Structure 1
Amino acid sequence: MKRISVDIGGTFTDCFFAWDNVYVEAKALTTHHNLALGFNEALDLACTRAGLDRGQVLSEVDSVRYATTLGTNALIERKGPKVAVIVTHGFEDVIPLSRGRGYGEGLDPSMQQNLSAAERPEPLVPRERIRSVKERINYAGKVVVPLDETDVREIIRELVDRGAEALVVSLTNATENPEHELRIQEIILEEFPPHELGAIPVLLGHQVSGRKGEYVRATSTIVDAFLHETMFHALGQLAINLRDSGYDKPMLVIHNSGGMAQMNSTDALQTIHSGPIAGVGAAEHLSRETGIGSLISTDMGGTSFDIGLVPEGGVKHYDFQPTIDRWLVSVPMVHLQTLGAGGGSIASYDRIHKAVKLGPESAGSDPGPACYDRGGLRPTVTDADLLLGYLDPDNYANGFIKLNPKRSIFAIEESLCDELDADFIEVAKQIKREVDEQMAIGIAKELRVRGYLPEDFTMLAYGGNGPLHACGIADKAGIRRILAPPFASVFSACGAGNMQQLHIHERSTHVVFYNATTRGLYDRYDEFNSIVEELEAKGREDLVRQGFDGGEVRFRLEMDMRYGNQLVTTAVVFDIARIHGVADVAHIIRTFSDIYGQRYGEGSQAPEAGIRVQTIRVASYVDGDVVAFASLDHPTDRLIPTPVGQRDVHFVGLDSQVSTPIYDASALTHEHKVLGPAIVTTENTTYLVEPGWRLEPTPQGAVWFLRD
């Protein structure tokens, strides 16, 4: 296996480089003006560590995979083209009305409880660029009103004359019959052939989302169109950089569905949160290979803190209608909770609560935290960590970034010391306490809302700042076991290296496997099987288009199921893909019952209310090589290594500083254990072992944090 996997974050660009059995990790600052520069710097560092030439690597490597948050940032900054939308006549106000809930979607819970003070987000498409055409298809896919093509041509000309830079077509019930959407696309090309229309993308709602629901399908397609130009140019820039460097294979892009595809088979919407979701995928792979059990994956980088759930058995948690920024969309997305709390999160004074407030604003990579000495003037979590003694100013990021403590002191004193009536050390402790509490609350909420107990999970701590804050977070969340996985500082990039080429297709449906009124079981087998076959055919076509043989494609059937009219919907993966009789129906019901009981407690099942399916989903994929994770077992008889130095360190909860032993990477071998308080500094991250904890490495490089 020879591959390069890259996670482009808001602050750092992480690179995981696999060359046969040699694994190398490297980081560089993200260069937002040209992502290729940061990629080249990280790859050059990885090649240097492996003793290889970059030209040789790119000519021989089997794949280059990208995960990025570029689309997320573009949406937040509202940097996109003028999008115009064509809808069914009479549905012109569906998008502006946003189901009457547009004020609350995307806000934190406290703001959702105060909707009178909430502000509706600035629309991606203003009302004057929404036009309707005369047509109507009913819920069953039957044409009720034929498409008025003359009307369509007039509207298209008008929208183009108004400066539309992207066209969205989202018609009512197009998921049941896309005939009219497809015809409108043909008319657009007839009126404005490609040589006249130029690079204006035309996106059809039924191709972006296969679910019913006019509003969410339209917003999904609008967000996709809004991000299209940014993602096209940025990823195109990366692809050109690869070709210029000798790489002649298609570039692969990570999807938020948990898979990846070539750039020509990727929608911009599918790249949202793709980096953190690659980390969740790596956590799933680690759980399967090592039998570690249930994991709560936590990725603390420079900009955000991302939380993912990996229950034992590999049951996926999907967001059925996730909110991206302030927009409700309808795409299959692995569930992820993101908090604006990373190393670069800016600390400010909350005048209402008279306390430190963290994020969501981040210093990013440019100018970065004040201690980077690049012009940043506001205090961040990294500045607090430096002043508390956790970071080595001369050996941060392997010495590539020299930290300036004086800048951190200045930033904290100017912004917070007078307001809080405390010295800079006490303020730094408050910043550390606040960020750990925020992340612990996020973890506890994620677990308890879904029926899990924190003590039943191992916390997986990765990202550049994960091992630094892991003990403080776990203490407050009630978790007793932490694992910093192999390649912790670039674990999401490592996950991108394990991704399968995968496409997910889904369709809204109404299947009742058990009817509580008639007490009958589902018996329309041919109808069910035809839907699955149609979704499999779409997935096979996607992968054949990318160069795979149709015989290599594998399929996984999933369904979103619930009892009766419950709001709780559970994604269930099945080991069968067709229904041929009552035995298969009974198997599906039993599988759903077992998974529901595991998640919400045995006895909570309610089959007497009926068993319904809202969505049928097929994942089409091709298996590939993956990074091998060694056993996490570790010997009990260990030696305490010799520290390389001592440093005065301040810990939250202790009044005075503590003379703390400092270790280097040589301490992270499986013969050693490190007793807290202690600090282990490596090339890419810092391990902070707080009082009451001990650190026990494993042979492959994973590190256990265990309570004494």
Structure 2
Amino acid sequence: MRSKYRLGADAGGTFTDFVLADNAGNVRLYKTPSTPDDPTRALAAGLELIAHDLGLTPAEIVAESDLCINGTTVGLNALIQHKGAKVGLLCTAGHEDSLEIRLGHKEDGHRYDPEYPPATMLVPRHRRRPIRERVLSTGEVRIPLHESDVREACELFRAEGVESVAISFVWSVLDPSHERRAAEIVRAMLPDVPVTVGSELYPQVREYTRTSTAVVNAYLGPIMKAYVERVDRFFRDLGAKQPVRYFQSNGGLATGAVMADRSVYAINSGPASAPQAGLYVAEPFDARNVITVDMGGTSFDITLVKDGVTNIKKNADFLRYRIGVPMIQVETLGAGGGSIGWIDELGLLQVGPQSAGAVPGPACYGKGGTEPTVTDANLVLGYVSPEGLLGGRMALDRDQAVEAIRRRIAEPLGISVERAAYGMFTIVNNNMVNGIRRVSVERGYDPRDFVLVAAGGATAAHITALAREMGIGTVLVPKLASGLCAFGQIISDVKYNHMATAPLRLEGNEAFARIDALFAEIEAEGRAYLERDGFDEETIAIRRSMDMRYVGQVHECTVEIGNFRIDASTIDEVKAAFHRRHEELYTYAEPRTPIEVVNIESTFFGRVSKPQPPRIARGGDPAALKGRREMIFDASGSAITAPVYDGAKLGAEAVIAGPAVIEEPTTTIVLEPGWTARLDERGTYVLTGSSA
């Protein structure tokens, strides 16, 4: 760290988390309610908390920070709520409906459901304008660009009040000249409207994927641009010496200018840092198989790391929209502290995906909420302190929680409030367990081979119940759990993905030279990005990959290769890597079958220095046992009296046996009967149960 501090701010749907690390190894965590209408209000509130704690001003903190990093759900929320920009699309004539045809594909789980509704189109049919032009798969221009079609489309877009334009022509990745000329015309006629050029954003084969990715980028672009400008101005006015960095869904940092231009990378901005943080927490315990789960106020996010490698997905459907650019694979459920309990038409209790959000929030927040939520249930069960959240700064009203559960759940089902609350707890846990199974069991991984890392403010109240259901015997809960994604952001590198298409067989010196030249071309571009960002040769790292398949196959697989020259002397190494990867994915390889390349990609890392890990002193405070309260641990609704510990007063190597609750300032750890917690000197609780 070049300065005294590094600041990470992760804006979630309910809370905004702040992590401040200093160069002495101290890491501090703060939380404040999110302000979706104006994110800078939450940033200001969080900085005021930090300033009060340190005896400084917000300006002094920002000026002394080498990096101020922001993760945001702005792009994700806009896509979920369909509140993006008004988009116009220029496409090759005859391909106006490719977005709706969707390659004839229905999402998994609905493939044979005739009643499953079509996805909402981000660009309505009349704003998808046909442009006469045609490039063939050989790169030959069959029909020149009809510039008059582009101008007519611009006139329509002006009349329609279009706020963003996407351009995607067939085979533009082989000859992008038509797209580039169309973009010039649009920028001249609509100078205030941002333009997304498909062959620049996603220069890879697959027209539908490229078009969909370009449209999503255009849909989010104006929103992200406004957000970035607002946040950049906020930190600049406070005296920031470095540009704000934003966390991308590919697992790395980027400047605001890049984030605004490539807004599709902002979709999973917040939870994409979880794998990096989970590995950091697990590394001292020699664990490289990690499942990180993050239960916040609105959602439950799951990521998986196998052998230290995070799952990356490309060319996949996200919220029903095909996105081609690389994204950290995050399974997201509508299961958070604000998830609402309700009774369906069959009279069965359900929880989520509807959420009370930050406003009005759970009934116990006392902000006008009347629906029973998971947080209300945890309060009734005795898991959450009646003194409130955030170290008592956010008061909770237990009577309101009881009334909401009684009126909406208990009375209609004819059961006690306590049994109703435990039923909500059990159902939301089952929902989360099913999500964990989807990223592990359904992909061929045994969850018992993994450690479970808890992130998010609400996770620790459920973590032993989740581990018990999954048969996982070791759980790691860092003191920073509720802000773990924000912490993951401050230990991450700057990261950019640069791609090119290369549809050719992996045979002959001409093909090898073509691939090598394309890598050189995109790597010169990527290095320039990082050099402009202040990185030098010693801090730049590059990782190459190629999308390959056997000749005759429809789908390709991504294979990492070394950073060597592609020629006759190294090609066998490339082929061997493909055969190995194909066998890992599909259980077989065909070494005698010719291989063809589809796309190539270079991932660039600008390495940043990492903060020192925290250390907890031994001994602790005898007053760590702060009292006892009644808690419910089974479906009978019967309460037992269990101890409550103040985590801030526990010393390293302290051991707590369940049933018990450990209260940290921003999270609560519930130890079910049979579980034990040991506080490691690095500030991580190591939880072990009967499954260990």
Identify whether the pair has TM-score above 0.5, normalized to the shorter chain: yes
Query: Who is 2:599 aligned against?
Result: 615
Distance 1:205 1:496 in 2: 29
State the Cα distance separating 1:567 from its structure 2 match: 7.6
1:542 corresponds to 2:529: yes
Contact 1:500 1:624 in 2 (8 A): yes
* 1:547-558 → structure 2 map (5 Å cutoff): 547-549=534-536, 552-558=539-545
Residues 563 and 607, structure 1, Cα contact 8 Å, conserved in 2: no
Residue 472 of structure 1: how far off its partner (Å)? 0.7
Residues 589-637 of structure 1 deviation map (CA, whole Å, 9 limit, x = unaligned): 444555666x569x755545565544321011211111344799x99x9
User: Quick check: 2:338–2:356 contact (8 Å CA) kept in 1?
Assistant: yes
* Alpha-carbon distance in structure 2 between the residues aligned to 1:63 and 1:232: 20
Mapping 1:583-594, distance limit 5 Å: 584-592=570-578
Distance in 2 between residues matched to 1:382 and 1:72, nearest whole Å: 24
Structure 2 CA distance for partners of 1:184 and 1:642, relative to 1, 3 Å: closer
Which residue of structure 1 lines up, in the alignment, with residue 35 of structure 2? 31
Give the whole-Å Cα distance in 2 for the aligned partners of 1:567 and 1:644: 62
2:290 pairs, out of 289, 295, 308, with 295
1:127 corresponding residue in structure 2: 125
> What is the letter of the counterpart of residue 52 of structure 1?
L
* 3-state SS in 1 of match to 2:310: coil
Match for 1:81 among 75, 79, 85?
Answer: 85
AA aligned opposite 2:542 = F
8 Å CA contact 2:364, 2:376 repeated in 1: yes
State the alpha-carbon separation in 2 of the partners of residues 91 and 319 from structure 1.
26
Q: Is the 8 A contact 2:624 2:646 kept in 1?
A: no
CA distance in 2, matches of 1:441, 1:563: 34
Q: Report the equivalent of 2:275.
A: 280
- Residue 674 to residue 270, structure 1, CA distance change in 2 (3 Å): same
- Which residues of 2 match residues 406-485 of structure 1 at below 5 A? 406-485=399-478
Instruction: Report the counterpart of residue 343 of structure 1 in structure 2.
Output: 337
Structure 2 counterpart of 1:60, one-letter code = E
Compared CA separation, residues 342 and 54, structure 1 to 2 (3 A): same
Which residues of 2 match residues 335-414 of structure 1 at below 5 A? 335-352=329-346, 354-414=347-407
Residue identity in the other structure for 1:644 = K
User: Which one-letter code corresponds to 1:302 in the other structure?
Assistant: G
Mapped partners of 1:585, 1:450: distance in 2: 30
Q: Partner of 1:517 in structure 2?
A: none
CA distance in 1, matches of 2:651, 2:557: 42
Tell me by how many angstroms 1:10 deviates: 0.3
1:534 maps to amino acid: E
Partner of 2:642: 660
Deviation at 1:385, TM superposition (A): 0.4
CA contact (8 A) 2:624 2:650 kept: no
Give deviations 1:198-223, integer Å, cap 9, x for gaps.
Answer: 53111111122122222221111111
Q: Is the 8 A contact 2:213 2:322 kept in 1?
A: yes
In 2, the alpha carbon distance for the partners of 1:698 and 1:253 equals 31
Contact 1:373 1:407 (8 Å CA) reproduced = yes
1:441, 1:477 within 8 Å by CA — same for their partners in 2? no
Aligned to 2:245: 252
- For residue 114 of structure 2, give the secondary structure of its aligned residue in structure 1: helix
Q: Against the structure 1 CA distance between its residues 560 and 628, is the aligned structure 2 distance closer, same or farther, given a 3 Å change threshold?
A: farther
Partner of 2:256: 263
| Aligned-partner residue type, residue 36 of structure 2 | H
Q: Report if aligned partners of 2:502, 2:515 keep a CA contact under 8 Å in 1.
A: no
Contact 1:24 1:50 in 2 (8 A): no
* 1:679 partner amino acid: V
- Residue equivalent to 1:702: 684
SS of the aligned residue for 2:475 comes to strand
Q: Distance in 1 between matches of 2:264 and 2:430?
A: 32
TM-score, normalized by length of structure 1?
Answer: 0.91
Kindly state the Cα deviation for residue 587 of structure 1 after the two structures are TM-superposed.
2.8
The whole-number CA distance in structure 2 between the counterparts of 1:595 and 1:41 is 48
* Cα distance change, pair 575–51 in 1 and its aligned pair in 2 (3 A): farther
Deviation of 1:29 after TM superposition, in Å, equals: 0.4
Equivalent residue number for residue 70 of structure 1: 74
1:674-702 per-residue CA deviation (whole Å, 9 max, x = no partner) reads 10100001111001011111101100101
1:524 equivalent in alignment to 2:511? yes
The DSSP-based 3-state class of the residue aligned with 2:122 is: coil
Q: Across the two proteins, how many residue pairs are aligned to each other?
A: 684
1:49-68 equivalent positions in 2, closer than 5 A: 49-68=53-72
Moved more, 371-380 or 18-27: 18-27
1:508, distance to aligned residue in structure 2 (A):
3.6
2:630, 2:640 within 8 Å by CA — same for their partners in 1?
yes
Name the CA distance, whole Å, in 1 between partners of 2:578 and 2:649: 47
Q: How far does residue 562 in structure 1 lie from its aligned partner after superposition?
A: 5.2
- Whether the 8 Å contact between 1:286 and 1:629 is mirrored in structure 2 is no
Q: Deviations over 1:343-385 (max 9, x none)?
A: 1111111223x32212111111111111100011111110100
Name the aligned partner's letter for residue 692 of structure 1: G
How many Å apart are 1:16 and its aligned residue?
0.8
Deviation at 1:526, TM superposition (A): 1.1
**Alignment correspondent of 2:44:** 40
> C-alpha distance in 2, partners of 1:41/1:560?
46
What letter matches 2:21 in structure 1? Answer: A
SS of the aligned residue for 1:274 comes to coil
Cα deviations across residues 146-177 of structure 1 (Å, max 9, x unaligned)? 11223322332232223222111111111111
The CA distance in 2 between the partners of 1:181 and 1:263, in whole Å, is 25
The secondary structure found in structure 2 opposite 1:116 is coil
Cα distance, 1:563–1:151 mapped onto 2, change above 3 Å: closer
**Are residues 1:237 and 2:230 paired?**
yes
What residue number does 2:195 align with?
202
Equivalent residues of 1:638, 1:673 under 8 A apart: no
Q: 1:164 to 1:385 in 2, by over 3 A?
A: same
Does the residue aligned with 2:120 lie in a helix, a strand or coil?
coil
Deviates more, 1:383-392 or 1:68-77: 68-77
**Offset at residue 320 of structure 1 (A):** 1.7
Q: Is the 8 A contact 1:305 1:340 kept in 2?
A: yes
Shift of the 231–418 alpha-carbon distance from structure 1 to 2, 3 Å rule, reads same
Amino acid at match of 2:661: I
Q: Tell me the CA shift for residue 278 of structure 1.
A: 1.1
Residue 144 (structure 2) aligns with: 146
Is 2:4 the partner of 1:11?
no
Distance 2:566 2:91 in 1: 37
Residue identity matched to 1:650:
I
Deviation at residue 315 of structure 1 after TM alignment: 2.6
Distance 2:230 2:571 in 1: 50
Aligned counterparts of 2:263 and 2:480: Cα–Cα separation in 1: 28
- CA displacement at 1:95 relative to structure 2: 2.0
Aligned equivalent of 1:516: none
Name the CA shift for 1:334/1:612 in 2 (closer, same or farther; >3 Å). farther
Q: Structure 2 vs 1, CA of residues 499 and 113 (structure 1 numbering), >3 Å: closer, same or farther? A: same
How far the C-alpha of 1:323 sits from its partner, in A, is: 2.1
Letter in 1 for 2:574: I
Question: 1:640·1:672 contact (CA, 8 Å) conserved in 2?
Answer: no
Q: Is the 8 A contact 1:289 1:629 kept in 2?
A: no
Q: Cα distance, 1:125 vs. partner? A: 0.9
Distance 1:488 1:568 in 2: 39
Equivalent position amino acid for 1:134 in 2: R
Q: Secondary structure at the match of 2:139?
A: coil
Deviations 1:418-447 (A, max 9, x none): 332211111111111111111111112211
Change (3 A) 1:570 1:529: same
Q: 2: distance between equivalents of 1:556 and 1:456?
A: 28
| 2:321 match | 327
Deviates further, 30-39 or 637-646: 637-646
